Amino acid sequence: MTDKPFLYVVVCAAGVAADVSKLITAAQERDREVGVIATPTAMNGFFDAAAVETQTGRPIRSAWRRPGDPRPFPAPDAVVVAPATFNTVNKWAAGIADTLAVGTLCEAAGLGVPIAVLPCVADALAAHPAYRDAVARLRGMGVRFADPYPGEGERDGERREFGWERALDLLGDG
């Protein structure tokens, strides 16, 4: 058992998820323990699960536990969703808790746990009315969103690095 604040990191299936270790490192440097919950699709090679388990010292959660199984993580003091995909944001806002990741987000929001989100959504999908409505609904619930690519878009044809630490800044860990 630890006295450090416990952070849930919810990882969705987007290419930048391969670098989620950067978020975990930043959280650990800010004196947080970390547990990772991944969407089932994210578990299919979007990040190095073995390396993340080594880094956190905990198993990655992706499936519901059975009745009577112990809770593998303590209750969260905060949650970061990064990268957050179009699908996860829309299901979460609609209360469709069909995966452990989305069910955890629905529960954490209902408990008033601070939640920070770094979306990884293509511009065409971000323009969809359902997504805009979902973000507005989640913001109305107190969920904090940040642009992981602040500033002026692409430079010299290359997209800048995903701003993992911005999520921790949203939580006041700056």
pLDDT tens digits for 83-103? Answer: 999 999 999 999 999 999 999
Tokens 């970061």 found at: 80
Strands (E), the chain: 6-11, 33-38, 78-84, 115-119, 144-145
Residue 51 falls inside a structural domain = yes
pLDDT at 157 over 70: no
Residue 135 falls inside a structural domain = yes
The pLDDT of residue 21: 98
Residue 1 falls inside a structural domain = no
Cα–Cα separations (whole angstroms), residue 80 to 54, 58, 76, 158: 19, 17, 10, 26
Q: How many domains does the chain have?
A: 1
Q: Is pTM, for the whole model, over 0.85?
A: yes
Kindly report the CATH number assigned to the domain that includes residue 128.
3.40.50.1950
Backbone angles phi, psi at 113, to 5 degrees: -70, 135
Residue 72 falls inside a structural domain = yes
Tell me what the pLDDT averaged over the chain comes to: 93
Residue 160 falls inside a structural domain = yes
d(CA 79, CA 13): 17
pLDDT digits (tens, 9 = 90+) for 49-92: 999 999 999 999 999 999 999 989 999 999 999 999 999 999 99
d(CA 94, CA 72): 27
For 139, the domain range is 6-170
pLDDT at 160 over 80: no
